[in-house]
Amino acid sequence: MTLPDGMRIEYLPELPKDKSFGIGCIGAGFIMRDCHLVAYNRAGFNPVAIASRSRQSAWATAKLRGIERVHDHYLALLEDASVEVVDVAVPPNLQLGIVRHIVQHGRHIRGILAQKPNGSNLAEAREIVRLCSDAGIKLGVNQNMRYDQSVRALKWLLDRGYLGDPVLATIEMRAIPHWMPWQAEQGWCTCRIMSIHHLDCFRFLFGDPERVYASFRPDPRTAFPHEDGVCLYVLEYANGLRASSWDDVWTGPAREGVDMRRGSEGDIGIRWRVEGTEGIARGTIGWPDYPTGSPSTIDFATSRFSGCWFQPRWPQRWFPDAFVGTMAQLLRAIEEDTEPEISGSDNLKTMALVDASYISAREHRVVAPSELSL
């Protein structure tokens, strides 16, 4: 059913008034080439320069996405006076070193958008936040699932009381991610790369949980050593809310070998559900069928309008459209001299929740994120 008269769900990010800030891009891989830069071009943002470990990749991305200048090294990019904001899209173990160079060499840099996770662990994230704070540089973190359209719509409903007090929230991910080569060097996969989205979204929607219980097992498909393949989480909130995420990167033998007789039919998707005292909402995240892609969805019912389900729809999708929001919130913070919506300091709580989940899984106990010093 269409929305009631007068209800207009605000699911799109607020854009800066000034879109001319020069953006310097560090990294030219998939996430930069096919997500960040596609989104920035659609929004009218201003990427002016790019650098990557591979000059060939940087040139190819620049040509594809209309960036005028390619630098041989990111240090040269930091000396480029036209670069006011640095978009860092590199593996997490490299981020701290790059941020150190930004604060040392980029005296004209006003903002940094750091890829998630913001460093390899909470300790590195704390140091990145300290460096940016001491240098007076705005730090935003690219927790882009917060800008998925169904997540924004859900937040809008929650903030206006359409669902009442949340009772139970769940995310069920059945997907087969493409792990990058650098992850084999880290020794981890699902929790810091995929689950971090869901844990951060729970924080965005409901605030900080008091405790988390996590249970991990290796994924049979992932060849490199890791502990966090299939990951289950239960979050406990002081007000009684319980939130749970089941992050399954196995999903059954859906892609096992060229001979399809060795595999099986798949069941791929991400579904979420929130039950409240005054309503219920359920939705899907469109990412797993990328690059074909499909928009995320939301259905909701509320006691304010009993007897029907509402099913608003939109053309935008998580990949790449949500990446408008993560850059927009940083540019607005620079423009208005405020903290970014997803600031580095706030994201420390997400990093603490992730690290607490690893402790919980290893020690088989409930862990309070407050046990970890921010």
> pLDDT tens string for the chain (374 positions)?
677 767 889 999 999 999 999 999 999 999 999 999 999 999 999 999 999 999 999 999 999 999 999 999 999 999 999 999 999 999 999 999 999 999 998 789 999 999 999 999 999 999 999 999 999 999 999 999 999 999 999 999 999 999 999 999 999 999 999 898 898 889 899 999 999 999 999 999 999 999 999 999 999 999 999 999 999 999 999 999 999 999 999 999 887 754 444 555 678 899 999 999 999 999 999 887 777 778 999 999 999 998 899 999 999 999 999 999 999 999 999 999 999 999 999 999 999 999 999 999 999 999 999 999 76
Percent of the chain with pLDDT over 90: 86
Do 157 and 281 reside in the same domain of the chain? yes
Do 118 and 253 reside in the same domain of the chain? no
pTM for the whole structure = 0.95
Model confidence pLDDT, tens digit, residues 193-239:
999 999 999 999 999 999 999 999 999 999 999 999 999 999 999 99
Domain that holds residue 121: 22-145+326-340
Do 57 and 154 reside in the same domain of the chain? no
Do 164 and 242 reside in the same domain of the chain? yes
Q: What is the CATH number of the domain that holds 140?
A: 3.40.50.720
Number of domains in the chain: 2
For residue 88, tell me if it sits in a domain: yes
- Give the pairing of strands 138-142 and 111-115: parallel
Do 125 and 193 reside in the same domain of the chain? no
